Amino acid sequence: MKYKDLIKELTLEEKASLMSGKDYWQTQNIDRLGISSMFLADGPHGIRKQAVASDKLGLNAGIPATCFPTAATVANSWNVELGEKIGEYLGEEAVAQKVNVLLGPGVNMKRNPLCGRNFEYFSEDPYLAGKMAAGYIRGVQSHGISACVKHFAVNNQEERRMSIDTIVDERTLREIYLTAFEIAVKEGNTMTIMTSYNKLNGTYTNENMHLMQDILRREWDYKGVVVTDWGGSNDRVAGLLAGNELEMPTTAGETDREIIEAIHSGKIKEEVLDACVDRLLELIFTTEEAYKKHHVEFDIEKHHRVAQKAAEESIVLLKNEDNILPLRFGKKVAVIGDFAKDARYQGAGSSIVNPTILDHTLNCFEESGIISIGYEPGFERYGKNNGEKVNHACALAEKADVVLLYIGLDEVTEADGLDRQSMKIPKNQIDLLNALYKVNPNIVAILSCGTAVEMPWIDKVKGLVHGYLGGQAGARSILRVLSGDVNPSGKLAETYPVRYEDTPSFLHFSGKEASVEYRESIYIGYRYYDTANIDVLFPFGYGLSYTTFEYSDIQVTRDGVTLKLTNSGRVAGMEISQLYIGCKSDKIFRPKRELKGFVKVFINAGETKTVTIPFDDKTFRYFNVKTNSWEIEEAEYNVMVGSSSVDIRLMDTILVKGTGAPLPYDKSKLPSYYSGKTNDVTVEEFENLIGYKVPVPTWDRTKPLGYNDTIAQCQYAKGGFARISYHVVVFAHWYLRKIGKRETANLIMMSIYHMPFRGIARMTGGVANMAMLDGILMMVNGHFFKGLRHVLKERSKMLMDRKNVKKLAMLVGKKYE
């Protein structure tokens, strides 16, 4: 241990106290030994450090910071160097705001388009997500502070996320859901990892010895700190045994006492606690050094320009019929859509950034050179019908050569803690589009949202520009693409299905009660669509340009692939060449092709460049469940290079020597997986894959409610008080939506309805403790007065204990003075 001598000077109580937060965002300090508090702040795409109320969940605005494009947006750039540059600027701002740990990036897979937090994640592909995350981490940590990759792991739905049990086979866990984390640890060298709320195959992730010890600590040799998601600790002692150093936020000393009692009883050896303290001290002292070495201010304008560059390179041109774009000089455009006036530029929830500058479309037209004849909102932002606005918009559209229609999803549709209800864009926006089409078919739609949407209306637009959530400079960036000042180079980091029912997890998302089964196994995203031959709207890796590129002269060696790439058009541009690998053997089920490399190249018009994409340790591997290790199957492999997952331009084969591992599967028992058609796998076949009986996916309504049951389950509680409370919550949610308070309604669902009871103790910063929670559960389970007496008794006891602790702390302080 690095800090062995210092740890010897700490009392047991002090060591235990370091394992939990001091308040909502800070860790505990021990001034007598020079151990300072660390500040942890949300920040996947910008620093969210609250100026006040740092001891509470807080909905107040954060200190102004640059709002960069979200991860889902920047992933479309396929530019790892750009991700690293964004990380550098995020790290600089973190140092300026005295943030030790920046809580991001998020690398969870986009298993399903409806996950409410997809805007905060990179991709449906683990290789792309991992490489982008590693770039961000290197950039952030270049300033000496820590990035924190999250949420470890298989956190792919928001509803019931604090109690859901994710059932997934080991191979899928390793190949799909952990690979991005592996790259973040090994290539990004992240100093901190955040565990997810959910269970993994029956055990909470931060207590899961297989995940935390076998894989993270031993296989990946991770030496850094693990922190819980906020309120994500279930059993503090089990978490500590698994190597989860830091619990956030504070529990006002309650879990510190649990750790102390566990050591006194022999449940935990003190050496285990010491090792956790040692890792935490390393993080504290390392990040503290950053403030001594780096400048404490940042250039707001310069950072804004970097945010603009990131947005420009991440915009995806999805349709360009009749080359309607870029807009020709002199064309008169009508600007229609509420999102043109008030840009939709970031997601909602814990990642909300208070931007330093905010560009809006209507303020940027003059410099763009585009001639606007006027603006009409056209629709109500939150879905209400308004015929008058439609009529005004149509009247303006009739006078224009081209209509720029700004549509998308509103701020409360995509949110931390909630999943979307459908893949559709609000009906009132589509009604507007249909009306505009009748008076002017020259429509260019500008789409703003952080995830995939259905587009049954796509034939009504000639141009489609997807800006995703482009950050504070996104509006100006989109105009630069429309005008032709910027040649779009983004490509989709996720597949856009024709309809939601086509998605492989359609029948098993989200888990509605106790568990969610990942029956589709490794076949998520393009791995499913390409293998099962399902038509999609836009494939993974797709994106148009104002120029064209030709591929030629593929050369495959043991080290990688080289090819010639020519810009055959009239303007300079960037092309993303994508390397896919497909095994020709059918002995082990696999997707038709998998992304194993990519490179983004700038090429002038008429120029040819030689492009190299190297192989690495992940190119040919698969996880063998019999040997419990990564293996290579000896076989011939298709080596494919393309402009998207379906637009393969060049192909060759290579024979690869294998590791000689035994075959992991009985093919006859897994017909769906060998065909790739895994959208409707039977429970029997899924059990053959995972090797055990799946747990009952529904709540047990016969048992009393306990710590990990949710408020939603009060609907069938024995106590009338609980059932009434449930209906009050449901009514409050309905009423708030009815009167337009959708953000508050969402907060009720996230922080009350889907919250497990233990969250009352874990998320309130010491207002309630687990002993008081026992009384609340008595009330819920039909013993109202007995429970109420218990709550009042334990609250009095808790307050008295705190007074005694304060007195003791004062005495100890005087002793060391």
Considering the domain architecture, whether residues 308 and 333 belong to the same structural domain is answered as yes
Assess if residue 529 is contained within a domain.
Answer: no
Considering the domain architecture, whether residues 676 and 727 belong to the same structural domain is answered as no
Beta bridge partners of 74: none
Q: What is the mean pLDDT of residues 38-43?
A: 93
The CA angle 504-505-509, to the nearest 5 degrees, is: 165
Dump pLDDT digits (tens) for 309-362: 999 999 999 999 999 999 998 899 999 999 999 989 998 877 899 999 999 999
Tell me which residue range forms the domain holding 632: 540-684
Angle (deg, nearest 10), helices 474-483 and 300-314: 50
| Four-point Cα dihedral 800, 804, 806, 808, nearest 10 | -170
pLDDT at 624: 98
Asked whether residue 815 carries a pLDDT value surpassing 80, the answer given is no
The CA angle 619-624-629, to the nearest 5 degrees, is: 80
| Cβ–Cβ under 8 Å, residues 463 and 313 | no
For residue 499, the one-letter residue type is: R
Dump pLDDT digits (tens) for 571-620: 999 999 999 999 999 999 999 999 999 999 999 999 999 999 999 999 99
Considering the domain architecture, whether residues 360 and 211 belong to the same structural domain is answered as no
Considering the domain architecture, whether residues 670 and 760 belong to the same structural domain is answered as no
Q: Where is the domain boundary, 245, 270, 293?
A: 293
Q: What is the mean pLDDT of residues 732-751?
A: 88
Assess if residue 535 is contained within a domain.
Answer: no
Q: Could you tell me if residue 109 is left (phi over 0), alpha (psi between -120 and 50 degrees) or otherwise beta? A: beta
pLDDT at 399: 97
Asked whether residue 812 carries a pLDDT value surpassing 60, the answer given is no
Element (H, E) at 68: none
Assess if residue 531 is contained within a domain.
Answer: no
* DSSP codes of every residue in 218-261: IIS---SEEEPPTT--S-HHHHHHTT--BB-S--TTHHHHHHHH
Instruction: In whole angstroms, give the CA distance from residue 240 to residue 193.
Output: 14
What percent of the chain is modeled with pLDDT above 70? Answer: 97
Considering the domain architecture, whether residues 108 and 187 belong to the same structural domain is answered as yes
Nearest Cα residue to 444 out of 481, 496, 471, 419: 481
pLDDT at 457: 98
pLDDT at 58: 47
Nearest Cα residue to 141 out of 286, 353, 308: 286
Hey, what are 310's tokens? 């990131």
Q: What is the mean pLDDT of residues 23-36?
A: 95
Assess if residue 801 is contained within a domain.
Answer: yes
At 802, is the pLDDT very low, low, confident or very high (cuts 50, 70, 90)? confident
Q: Give, in order, the Cα–Cα distances in Å from 287 to each of 139, 222, 771.
A: 14, 18, 36
Instruction: Return the SS3 of 656.
Output: strand
Looking at every residue in the chain, the average pLDDT score rounds to 94
Higher pLDDT, 415 or 813: 415
Considering the domain architecture, whether residues 456 and 549 belong to the same structural domain is answered as no
Instruction: In whole angstroms, give the CA distance from residue 760 to residue 707.
Output: 9
Q: Give, in order, the Cα–Cα distances in Å from 25 to each of 96, 105, 293, 525, 717.
A: 17, 18, 23, 36, 35
Q: What CATH number is associated with residue 509? A: 3.40.50.1700
pLDDT at 334: 97
pLDDT at 180: 98
pLDDT at 518: 98
Instruction: In whole angstroms, give the CA distance from residue 365 to residue 372.
Output: 7
| Cβ–Cβ under 8 Å, residues 93 and 508 | no
At 369, is the pLDDT very low, low, confident or very high (cuts 50, 70, 90)? confident
Dump pLDDT digits (tens) for 380-405: 998 899 999 999 999 999 999 999 99
Scanning 456-502, the segments in alpha helix (DSSP H) are 474-483
Q: What CATH number is associated with residue 667? A: 2.60.40.10
Assess if residue 37 is contained within a domain.
Answer: yes
Beta bridge partners of 405: 336, 445
Considering the domain architecture, whether residues 142 and 272 belong to the same structural domain is answered as yes
Q: What is the mean pLDDT of residues 785-798?
A: 94
Considering the domain architecture, whether residues 512 and 545 belong to the same structural domain is answered as no
Longest dimension (CA), the chain: 83
Asked whether the CA dihedral 780, 782, 784, 788 is positive or negative, the reply is negative
Instruction: In whole angstroms, give the CA distance from residue 623 to residue 671.
Output: 19
Instruction: In whole angstroms, give the CA distance from residue 98 to residue 82.
Output: 24
Nearest Cα residue to 615 out of 635, 594, 591, 590: 594
Considering the domain architecture, whether residues 402 and 384 belong to the same structural domain is answered as yes
pLDDT at 465: 98
Note the pTM of the prediction, 2 decimals.
0.96
Assess if residue 689 is contained within a domain.
Answer: no
What percent of the chain is modeled with pLDDT above 90? Answer: 88
pLDDT at 295: 65
Q: Where is the domain boundary, 293, 310, 339?
A: 293
For residue 807, the one-letter residue type is: K
Structural domain count, the chain: 4
Assess if residue 364 is contained within a domain.
Answer: yes
Which residues, at least 6 apart from 147, have a Cβ–Cβ distance to it below 8 Å? Answer: 87, 91, 101, 102, 104, 105, 136, 137, 140, 141, 188, 190, 191, 192
Beta bridge partners of 103: 42
Which residues, at least 6 apart from 335, have a Cβ–Cβ distance to it below 8 Å? Answer: 361, 362, 365, 372, 374, 375, 376, 404, 406
801 in catalytic set: no
Count Cα atoms within 13 angstroms, Cβ side, for 603: 28
Considering the domain architecture, whether residues 378 and 265 belong to the same structural domain is answered as no
Dump pLDDT digits (tens) for 171-186: 999 999 999 999 999 9
Let me know if 323 is exposed, middle or buried by CB neighbors in 10 A (0-12, 13-18, 19+).
exposed
> Catalytic: which of 42, 169, 229, 419?
229
pLDDT at 17: 97
pLDDT at 56: 46
For residue 174, the one-letter residue type is: R
Instruction: Return the SS3 of 264.
Output: helix
Q: What CATH number is associated with residue 88? A: 3.20.20.300
Considering the domain architecture, whether residues 152 and 283 belong to the same structural domain is answered as yes
Assess if residue 484 is contained within a domain.
Answer: yes
Instruction: In whole angstroms, give the CA distance from residue 262 to residue 173.
Output: 32
Asked whether residue 55 carries a pLDDT value surpassing 50, the answer given is no
Polymer length in residues for the chain: 817
Q: Where is the domain boundary, 246, 269, 293?
A: 293
Considering the domain architecture, whether residues 245 and 155 belong to the same structural domain is answered as yes
Which residues, at least 6 apart from 616, have a Cβ–Cβ distance to it below 8 Å? Answer: 596, 597
